[in-house]
Amino acid sequence: MAHLMTRPIPLILDVDTGIDDSLAILLACASSEADLRAVTCVSGNVEAAQVVMNTLAVLELVGRGDVEVAVGRTVPLVRPLMTAPETHGLRGLGYAELPPARAMVSSRHAVDLLIDEARRAPGELLLVTLGPLTNLAVATLREPDLPRLLRGLVMMAGAYRSPGNTAPTSEWNVAVDPEAMQVVLAGWAAHPGVPRPVALGLDVTERAKMTPDHLAALHHRAGDPSDAPMLTFIEDALRFYMEFHSRYDGFYGAFIHDALAVAAALDPSLIRTESVAVEVELGGTHTTGQTVTDWRRVWGREPNLEVAVQADVEMFFERFIERVGGLAATRSNVAL
């Protein structure tokens, strides 16, 4: 049985590749527990076409042009698209410049890819969503058995006991497409025996605050090469993000929400969750996109979500620096 325990986890990331998504992709590529099968793209931080270009370029940066990248739905289910150029830059990667990737976008639609791959390997695929849940909602509506076909679902989504970052009570990924989050919750709730989705909201992801000290440690782990394209990319991307947080949040650093979600998906012991009932506010005057959480069980309903309430952020950063820094070292003299 031992060799079965160490087999890498087949992983699909669903992304809206801005700065922290790119770091999450790097971490997935640097983690031996992950067998990154595909990356599906959705509009969010930037429009889907730019998300695809960013994703392909980041994968090429680490020599993973073999990973299938598919574009999905380009607008939310119901609402007009919001993007976040002030947070991630006009092209989504801050000040970073990457050459266009040689790999091409998949001929498959992201929704078809999610359904096809889940059917091909039932119970094996772990899906981690790092952007709005639009693609997953469409896939769940088209294949209602998707929750049974996946090994698990981990989402960077919501704000459960913390303020929002888009409106006072709403987190970005949910606020962009709140209907999609509600569709996903309903889709999973329709299968009582299936493991509940795990959500990492701002309550834990805003503890994953990357600072210049972490960047220095990353450099040190990579052996301080002057010609490491990965380190240059990370620094240029994060400098924009850190300047944004310096202006709006009063600290020079960056919340790397999505990388924490990938780390927790690969090693659930990094977080502690509570089973709660959650509904998404769809019609509020000031609260649209809020993940309304029944902490006191006043609804008397079955929980439909595992919400992360604690995270071992110190261990996460140790692991992130060790793995991404190690990958940067191996890529330091690779010509792009």
Q: Which residues are catalytic?
A: 257
> In the chain, what are the helix, strand and coil shares in percent, each to the nearest 5?
40, 15, 40
What tokens were used for 106?
């998949």
Nearest to 81 by CA among 177, 218, 172: 177
Cβ count within 10 A of residue 185: 25
What tokens were used for 197?
């989705």
Q: For the purposes of burial, counting CB atoms within 10 Å of the CB of 100, is it exposed (0-12), middle (13-18) or buried (19 or more)?
A: exposed
Cβ count within 10 A of residue 211: 15
How far is CA 215 from each of CA 223, 247, 311, 325, 328, rounded to the nearest angstrom?
Answer: 13, 20, 21, 10, 12
Radius of gyration of the chain (CA): 19
d(CA 304, CA 78): 23
For residue 278, the number of C-alpha atoms closer than 13 Å in the C-beta half-sphere is 30
Q: Are 45 and 87 in contact (CB under 8 A)?
A: yes
DSSP calls for 135-191: HHHHHHHH-TTHHHHSSEEEEE---SSS--SSBTTB-HHHHH-HHHHHHHHHHHHT-
